Amino acid sequence: MNRFGILECVEIKEKDYQGYVVALASITDPTFVLFFPINKENAKMVNFVLDDKNKYSADTNILGIYKTMIDSWKSSDKYLSGIIMDSVYSDEAKGDVLMIRLAMSDNNGDLESLVYVNFLHAIMLAAMEGVDVVVNDKLIEKMVPQDGEYNDAVEKNISKKQDAHFPEDKKLISIAKKIMSGKIKDS
């Protein structure tokens, strides 16, 4: 299992995807970040919650629903202790689909229940409560390209960029030797 914290939502403008994503950074390796698509309105809401300066209450439009939910859990001595993301096979979709559950604990920290929710609810609640998102290894394997695939794609990209921007100089080694030996004359 891998623990991730919610960073923020950012807008991506790439050839393959244009729109907003929510960034989840690995707790153990902050250079490993997962991106999930999210619409602009929800991205603004998540960023609003993540900003410590912003205050929200049960009266705050949509966020009030989440705040009321959290307050009702706390009043019955239940707490959101984490979010679990996994994938399961769906006959209807004929493939794996995302399965997200809230881990609810009692005031002793004992796991009391797992509640199925959609992606947005999980992200909003995790942001509001500051809890980690646990992502199953199987799901990460499906999301992250295999080493060979990634390395091949990176090498092809680098090769294309080098061919396009850096012409090859056949006399490079002899020029370097002249420079090191001090035999270059000022023109």
Q: How confident is the model at residue 120 (pLDDT cuts 50, 70, 90)?
A: very high
Q: Looking at the structure, tell me whether residues 59 and 138 fall in a common domain.
A: yes
Q: How confident is the model at residue 186 (pLDDT cuts 50, 70, 90)?
A: low
Backbone angles phi, psi at 88, to 5 degrees: -135, 155
Q: What SS3 string covers 18-44?
A: EEEEEEEEECCCCCCEEEEEECHHHHH
User: How much is the pLDDT for 60?
Assistant: 65
Between 177 and 83, residue with greater pLDDT: 83
Q: Looking at the structure, tell me whether residues 35 and 83 fall in a common domain.
A: yes
As a whole number of angstroms, the distance between CA 182 and CA 24 comes to 53
Region of poorest pLDDT, from 62-66, 112-116, 121-125: 62-66
User: How much is the pLDDT for 65?
Assistant: 86
Structural domain contains residue 53: yes
Structural domain contains residue 187: no
Between 9 and 178, residue with greater pLDDT: 9
As a whole number of angstroms, the distance between CA 123 and CA 102 comes to 10
Q: Looking at the structure, tell me whether residues 137 and 87 fall in a common domain.
A: yes
Q: How confident is the model at residue 154 (pLDDT cuts 50, 70, 90)?
A: very low
Q: What is the CATH number of the domain that holds 14?
A: 3.10.690.10
Q: Looking at the structure, tell me whether residues 38 and 121 fall in a common domain.
A: yes
Q: What is the pLDDT of residues 14-68, one digit of tens each?
A: 888 899 999 999 999 888 899 999 999 999 989 988 887 777 665 567 788 888 8
Residue 146 has what DSSP assignment? P
Structural domain contains residue 126: yes
As a whole number of angstroms, the distance between CA 141 and CA 15 comes to 24
Q: Looking at the structure, tell me whether residues 41 and 80 fall in a common domain.
A: yes
Between 118 and 160, residue with greater pLDDT: 118
Structural domain contains residue 186: no
Average pLDDT, the chain: 81
As a whole number of angstroms, the distance between CA 157 and CA 187 comes to 37
Note down the domain range covering 161.
Answer: 150-181
As a whole number of angstroms, the distance between CA 182 and CA 187 comes to 14
Between 164 and 80, residue with greater pLDDT: 80
Q: Looking at the structure, tell me whether residues 36 and 95 fall in a common domain.
A: yes
Structural domain contains residue 118: yes
When pLDDT is averaged across residues 114-135 and rounded to a whole number, the result is 93
Global pTM reads 0.70
* Residue 121: exposure state from Cβ atoms within 10 A (0-12, 13-18, ≥19): middle
User: How much is the pLDDT for 6?
Assistant: 92
With contact defined as beta carbons under 8 Å apart, do 83 and 128 qualify?
no
Total structural domains within the chain: 2
- pLDDT surpasses 60 at 79: yes
